Structure 1
Amino acid sequence: MSVTHEKTMLKAFDAKMAAHALQLARETLQNEAAAITALEQRIDADDSVARAIELLLNCKGRVVVSGIGKSGHIARKMAATFASTGTPALFVHPAEAAHGDLGMVTADDAFIAISYSGESGELMTILPVVKRMGSKVIAITGKPGSSLANIADVHLNVAVAKEACPMNLAPTTSTTVTLALGDALAVALLDLRGFKEEDFARSHPGGALGRRLLTHVRDVMRSGADVPKVRADVKLTDALLEITQKGMGMTAVVDADDKPIGVFTDGDLRRMIEKVQDFTRVVIRDVMHPNPRSIAPEKLAVDAVAVMEQFRINQMLVTDADGKLVGALHIHDLTRAKVI
Structure 2
Amino acid sequence: MGKYQPKDSFESPRFCGPRTFMRLPYMEQLDSDMDFIITGIPFDTGQSFRTGARFGPEAIRDFSVLLRPYNPEQDINVFDYVSGVDYGDIPVVPGYINATYDKIVENLFPVVDKGIIPVVLGGDHAITLGELRAIAKKHGPVALIHCDAHADTWDSYFGEKYNHGTPFRRAAEEGLLDIKRSIQVGMRGGLYGTQDLQDSRDLGFEVWSTNQFKKAGVERMIETIRTRVGGGPVFFSFDIDFLDPAFAPGTGTPEVAGASIDDALALVRGLKGLDFVGFDLVEVLPAYDHGQITAAAAANIVYEFLTLIALGKRERTNN
Structure with bigger gyration radius = 1
Q: TM-score, normalised by structure 1?
A: 0.29
Q: TM-score, normalised by structure 2?
A: 0.30
